[in-house]
Structure formats: C-alpha cells, structure tokens
Structure 1
C-alpha cells in the first residue's frame, strides 16, 4: 500500500485514547451506577488523565469527535 499519510489534521495535542475497562475493576461507588455491563470504555487525554467513562466504544469515539478530538484505540 503506497498511500501517503500526512498526519492527523488536529495535531497531536487533540488525540485521546479509548480503552476498555472491566466494571469489576472500578471503585464501588462507580460500580453501583453501572447496571448490566461487564465492560465500559474510558477516554483518556495524551497525559493519561481520564476524561470520561462511557457505556460503549462507539459512544466513546463519538464523544471524542464531538469535542474535536481524534480518538485512538488502546488495548
């Protein structure tokens, strides 16, 4: 594949990372608010700061894009 990549249009300061989180690993006060899910998704800034917890991956990506961030998956 010889497709040139010119970088992300927003620059590296607008990247956020989306990763799955096991509900069982969350603090009790957070787990009490989550019903019927085993996994949720966390959105983190480039500095590692947690910005949001959401119910599914699609929502995490949508949320990031709505706030002019470029989401990237982290496993």
Structure 2
C-alpha cells in the first residue's frame, strides 16, 4: 500500500487570483461603507465579490456565521 504525500504549496508564490480564491468558500470580509449617504457594513467574499450590505456590523457578522463562513474585518 502506497501512502500519498501531501501537496506542499509555497504561499509566497501564489498569483493574485490564487490568493483571492484562498478561503473563497470559508471567509467573508466586513467593511464599513456609505451608500447614498447612509452608513452600513458591506460583506464581501474572499475575492472581493460583494455579497450583501447590513445596517450594522453585528448583523453582517451574524449573516456570515449563519452561512457557515468565518468573518474578518477590513479597516
């Protein structure tokens, strides 16, 4: 029986696209935004794709957790 060796990837040599896709289905970012003069919190996928806007940060984080993702803040 042969054991498969794990694939080792040097993250220092990832392309922009590979880095953006890293954690794509597991990580979402929250950042403060102002839309039409109204402050809110935007939720973006790991690659920067906009997913939603919430009225406050706690609601944005709860929405991310509800979808089984990990929230990260962007300042």
Structure 1's unaligned 5+ residue stretches are 1-10, 26-37
Matches within 5 A, 1:1-75: 12-13=23-24, 14-24=26-36, 38-75=38-75
SS of alignment partner, residue 71 of structure 1: strand
SS of alignment partner, residue 68 of structure 1: coil
Counterpart-to-counterpart distance in 2, 1:16 and 1:54? 13
After superposition, what is the alpha-carbon deviation per residue over 1:6-44, rounded to whole angstroms, capped at 9, x for unaligned?
Answer: xxxxx833000000001346xxxxxxxxxxxx3100000
Greater relative CO (CA pairs within 8 A, separation 6+): 1
- TM (norm. structure 1) is 0.64
CA root-mean-square deviation: 1.7
Structure 2's unaligned 5+ residue stretches are 1-21
